[in-house]
Amino acid sequence: MRARDHFDAASQLAGPRGRHAVVVGGSLAGMLAARVLSDHFDDVTLLERDRFPEAPVARQGLPQGRHVHVLLERGRGVLERFLPGLTGELVRAGADPLDATRDAAWMSPYGWYVRFPGDLRMLASSRDLIDRVVRGRVAALPNVRIQQGADVAGLIRGPGDGAHVVAGVRLRSRAAGAEADRGGSDLAADLVVADGRNSRLPEWLTALGYESPAETVVNSFQGYASRLYRPPAGFEPDWKQLYIQQAPPGDPRGGVISPVEGRRWLVSLVGGDGDYPPTDDAGFLAFARSLCNPALYEAIAVAEPLGSIAGQRATENRLRHYDRLRLFPDGVVAVGDAVCAFNPVYGQGMTAAALGAEVLDRWLRQKSSHGGPGRGRVFQRRLARATSAAWQLSAGADSRFRTTRGPPQGRVARLTGGYIDAVMRAATRRPWVRRRLMEVLHMLRPPSALFGPGVLARLAWDRLVAGADAGPRGGTSLREGTDGGSRSPGRTAPDLDVKTATGRGG
Ligand SMILES: Cc1cc2nc3c(=O)[nH]c(=O)nc-3n(C[C@H](O)[C@H](O)[C@H](O)COP(=O)(O)OP(=O)(O)OC[C@H]3O[C@@H](n4cnc5c(N)ncnc54)[C@H](O)[C@@H]3O)c2cc1C
């Protein structure tokens, strides 16, 4: 089929006016949006520039798929709600349902978090597997049509002067290599949903004469380098996932080994403050060796590398304030990374996309979302509220790096930073505190849960009994002395603590 025919065919998918929604981008936020829209529109068309691979492998539009992706429990729960049975399907396809407090050995800035069997799960798999399974489910919906190789070039304006309405999208004809207004075609829609960290929605709005949204950017200059490995035969560590957390400002380096389908490890090294991990063999290993604890290096040094090393540096926290636009046309909304993209080391992006899908669903259930001025802005305000805790966490934690650029942190944020340090320190000893911290990090509880009486009482008791505690593992740079040896009491080999999460003693 020629490109022109292809887009003409796409145009005919449009349902009667008032009945058709278009999603731009087929990553996780786009797929979830399509799933939600399928309940509210007769027809949904998802337009993706790429061609999707059959197997769970990387594709051009999803370069981050080559790096470790942690699906937080809150996000998994929302995915399961919209796509019942998804968790089981992922597990059957090779995802590993880890016991988050037992199977993950996590080196915090204050030493290893205490480990114990619990009931908090964490699904470990490649990002590409999650996308493939979610895509399969969404593609099976009878009123959703996924159009691949469809490159959106802009928005089309609704009829009538002064009507602030978007009436669809303009598709670029790729075969012709032409600009949007030469050789493309239009696809009418009552609602256009845009996603993606590199979303062009701001430019598309400007092209229609609207303002583009103001942005808040907090950049701690993080870089990733990742590679797949085959674990060595007979190598049986007492962890399934190993995480060496960065400890800014002293130690901007970290890394993670996470199991992925096919009995492989996906290893991501991360460096902040522009201390980017190299993507050549020797540099990658040297960076791993320089981490504050030797466990990660020792594991990969004896493992078989599979394929090349992928690097990524577009990791800044970026908040686009669509909710503050004075004039935002009806008929278009932004979701996922298009609105709120995070430094990925905190693992929040997919879960924030899922929260956005919930907001979209609730908004569409309300009559007001189907008419009246400013309805899109109402959606964007609700979305901003739903993701604000995740933003505070990510932007707040990033402010600890030496070279972070962004608005200064307020006094409250600075004070709470010290308190969070005390919580992290307590979580190296107390199962109850680690469990509560994990619940907050997995977005199952709000950050305020760390300030509840249960945590406060335990911290106060520790202070009373134990007095001052060990400081962070790196008040200064930990780069010197890369002999892989332990440099503080906290950085010994991970032990399996057999207390239970629900035990009263924590
Ligand atoms: C290195 C890295 C690691 C990460 N780790 C985690 C993690 O551990 N946990 C987590 O939850 N999140 C993580 N994230 C974030 C996560 O990848 C995103 O939050 C998630 O993909 C949701 O983003 P999105 O769907 O809005 O957009 P994106 O994933 O950016 O996808 C946008 C899609 O739109 C398509 N597209 C773009 N332009 C057009 C166009 N003009 N026309 C048609 N299609 C178009 C692209 O091809 C792509 O498929 C990580 C991100 C990075 C960069």
Nearest C-alpha neighbor of 321 from the set 409, 371, 390, 383: 383
The preferred substitution site among 350, 383, 391 for testing ligand 1, maximizing ligand atoms within 8 Å of CB, is 350
Distance 27 CA to ligand 1 centre (A): 6
Instruction: State the helix-helix crossing angle for 375-398 and 411-426, rounded to 10 degrees.
Output: 60
Rounded to whole angstroms, how far apart are CA atoms 375 and 111? Answer: 49
Which alpha helices (H) appear in 240-280, and where do they start and end? none
- How many whole angstroms from its chain centre is CA 237? 28
Residue 449's pLDDT is 94
If you take atom 15 of ligand 1, which residue's CA is the nearest one? Answer: 349
pLDDT of 479 reads 32
Mean pLDDT estimate for the chain: 87
Residue range 482-498, pLDDT digits in tens: 333 333 333 333 333 33
Tokens 């996924």 label which residue?
146
- Atom in ligand 1 nearest the alpha carbon of residue 72: 11
Q: Is 492 in a helix, a strand, or coil?
A: coil
Q: Is the pLDDT of residue 175 over 70?
A: no
The reported pLDDT for the residue numbered 450 is 94
CA of 126 to the centre of ligand 1 (A): 14
Residue 477, pLDDT score = 32
Query: 443-463, pLDDT tens digit by residue?
Result: 999 999 999 999 999 999 888
Residue 149 in this model has a pLDDT that exceeds 50: yes
List pLDDT tens digits, range 10-50. Answer: 333 333 335 899 999 999 999 999 999 999 999 999 999 99
Residue ranges around ligand 1 (CB below 6 Å): 24-30, 47-50, 61-62, 64, 67-70, 150-152, 195-197, 200, 224, 312, 315, 336-338, 344, 347-351, 353
C-alpha R_g of the chain = 24
Residue 406 confidence class, pLDDT cut points 50, 70, 90: very high
pTM of the shown model: 0.88
pLDDT at residue 501 in the model: 35
Ligand 1 center to 350 CA (angstroms): 8
Strands (E), 125-214: 144-148, 151-157, 166-172, 185-188, 191-194
State residue 161's pLDDT score: 67
